[in-house]
Structure 1
């Protein structure tokens, strides 16, 4: 499972007062910010895929990732206690431009267009497998058609198998997007 590396150099001006590491300033026009917290084995939030436009370090355990309008990303939340997993969720979402309608999601400001929202670890695992399958074809998951992620969410919610995402399907999506723009 691929995660965004929290310790990667950010390369933009500004230093964190605690760690001395570089902090990226939020880009102009970024409208969607996702708060990521990592407390190993207890409370973990991470971006499974997506192009992070900028990142701010709030503390040793908390960061904020910013996405430009139109960016597709997957946000995973997992919480456990001494007895095991108590909450797991994955949301595949589309960052919106300022003023566009959106849905609210915990830890996502101001919100995003939800393509798929899946709760419960067995279903989250199926969603992660679907993401891995898209990447196995050689396509970056954030470039896949938003309709595919809606399909994945609906089929997993219904307990049904989902269609694989192929290069042919991706080519059709790219052509449709070119015609629509």
Structure 2
């Protein structure tokens, strides 16, 4: 059951849906041991099941989510990708990405299993301190991208950094 369906099942009111043109759609596919596309974190506002192997998740503007896609053939893994994106409004500039329509603001992009695994471990560490990775500062994901691109170690995201981000965001509102 998706998070949105679980909230609705508990009787909580659904948030007002943004206009369909402002939703970011991500097509997920699961063909065991061949193709796997999944969302590691993020709060979807809608879901459409296409068939038993494919579905589409929809994200509201400004939602941060992590999209992992992996492919293999008879000889092993041929592609591993992890992208952390911010869903954008139709009027905003967007970067295109396979399986993401119309696109989004790419905060972090890594390719290759060693880098993907390292980012997944960072996400696990963020969750271990009780923070939802979709609530993390977008600047942190950019920092991780830049450090990994340079071959350097990224600073860990801490509860203190998260508190500072929340205070900055509240002061900016």
TM-score using structure 2 length = 0.89
Moved segments of 4+, more than 6 Å: none
- Answering whether residue 99 of structure 2 is matched by residue 90 of structure 1, we say no
Map Cα deviations across residues 37-78 of structure 1 (whole Å, 9 max, x no partner).
000110000000000111100111000000000100000000
Range with greater deviation from structure 2 (27-36 or 84-93)? 27-36
Matches within 5 A, 1:139-158: 139-158=131-150
| Contact 2:4 2:46 (8 Å CA) reproduced | no
Partner of 1:72: 64
Q: 1:84 to 1:66 in 2, by over 3 A?
A: same
Matches within 5 A, 1:1-181: 10=5, 27-29=17-19, 30-181=22-173
Give 1:9 deviation, angstroms: 9.2
Map Cα deviations across residues 103-161 of structure 1 (whole Å, 9 max, x no partner).
00110000000000100111110111111111111100000000011111111222211
Map Cα deviations across residues 3-48 of structure 1 (whole Å, 9 max, x no partner).
xx67x89479xxxxxxxxxxxxxx4324200000000110000000
Residue correspondences, number: 164
TM-score using structure 1 length = 0.85
Which SS does the other structure have where 1:58 is aligned?
Answer: strand
Which SS does the other structure have where 2:52 is aligned?
Answer: coil
Structure 2's unaligned 5+ residue stretches are 8-16
1:163, 1:136 → 2: CA distance? 16
Q: 1:11 to 1:146 in 2, by over 3 A?
A: closer
Structure 1's unaligned 5+ residue stretches are 13-26
1:126, 1:154 → 2: CA distance? 14
